[in-house]
Structure 1
């Protein structure tokens, strides 16, 4: 028993000596860090003084606002007058209620078959709407082309980067309620 006790005491002494040695290195490291802080002097360039602000009066107030809805309406009507324009039929028809909402504010919550015809159920502003193939929705002249149990396919008419009106495929997918 005394031999085991002696070996334990020896191990404990060695551990304490090792920890004491680490403490000395810590102090040496701390002194070196302090010395480095004293020796390094930051070189910061002084900021240049601000330029004098010279206010200008806004002279384009009397000009036509480039973002005016009136200007956009005129441009759309001119586009619609052109022969073979995709937009012509869309502008001249009566708008449907769901065309006032962007597609990302709508969610498909179900589908139903009534009298052999497929309908989709859409939730918009906490109201439920029933739509069928041929109905319009969204703000880009979106027309429903196909309804399945899980999604609605539609075609939209949008302007590309060159300003030309093109057809684009869009879709709304069934949104499962998370619990």
Structure 2
């Protein structure tokens, strides 16, 4: 019975597909009459012209002396610019606050002792007082001004060419208003 039904269905489908579908073919021809394919031409391919790569006069960005600070032996060689720091004086000072970046230091207080402003600086669990002229931070930051709201610094930074320049930055008083509940 199933075979008979299957044979009848195949026959019915074959009978339906036997037509030429003239009306469909005519509609397709009328619709495609005005259509034309328009493909833009490819751009002209120019021949390869090599460019000379002359780097003899440029600085080598991978030279270790351009990445690391200049050593003490090269300090007096006339290179480094007018703002070249004194590395030996830094070692003699051996200040705790010069061993941490400015970003990790917090100004937590302000004092005025004998008309001399002092800032209270915290790093990790240690607290130190600084005055104008003291050094803090890794970039030879010298305290230039202390107010009740911030500490202004003059830092010395080295660029990729090995020259030193000044940069001004500030360390702001950290308030504890956000922690009160």
* TM-score interval (norm. to shorter): 0.5 to 0.7
Offset, 1:162: 3.1
Offset, 1:86: 2.5
Which of 82, 86, 92 is the aligned partner of 2:88? 92
Structure with bigger gyration radius: 2
- C-alpha distance in structure 2 between counterparts of 1:135 and 1:101, whole Å: 14
Which residue is equivalent to 1:124?
Answer: 123
Offset, 1:77: 1.7
**Matched position secondary structure for 1:162:** coil
Offset, 1:165: 0.6
Structure 1: runs of 5 or more not aligned: 1-65
- C-alpha distance in structure 2 between counterparts of 1:67 and 1:124, whole Å: 31
Which residue is equivalent to 1:143?
Answer: 142
Check conservation: 1:79, 1:85, Cα contact below 8 A. Answer: no
- C-alpha distance in structure 1 between counterparts of 2:71 and 2:166, whole Å: 16
Which TM-score applies when normalising by structure 1? 0.55
Which residue is equivalent to 2:102?
Answer: 103
Offset, 1:129: 0.8
- C-alpha distance in structure 2 between counterparts of 1:79 and 1:168, whole Å: 23
**Matched position secondary structure for 1:92:** helix
State the number of aligned residues: 110
Taking only aligned residues, the RMSD between alpha carbons, in angstroms, comes to: 2.4
Deviations 1:19-50 (A, max 9, x none): xxxxxxxxxxxxxxxxxxxxxxxxxxxxxxxx
Which of 68, 71, 80 is the aligned partner of 1:76? 71
Which residue is equivalent to 1:38?
Answer: none
1:47-86, aligned counterparts within 5 Å? 72=68, 75-83=70-78, 85-86=82-83
Moved over 2 A (4+): 82-88, 160-163
Are 1:112 and 2:111 matched, yes or no?
A: yes
If asked which structure has higher relative contact order (CA below 8 Å, sep 6+), I would say 2
Which TM-score applies when normalising by structure 2? 0.54
- C-alpha distance in structure 2 between counterparts of 1:162 and 1:104, whole Å: 25
**Matched position secondary structure for 2:75:** helix
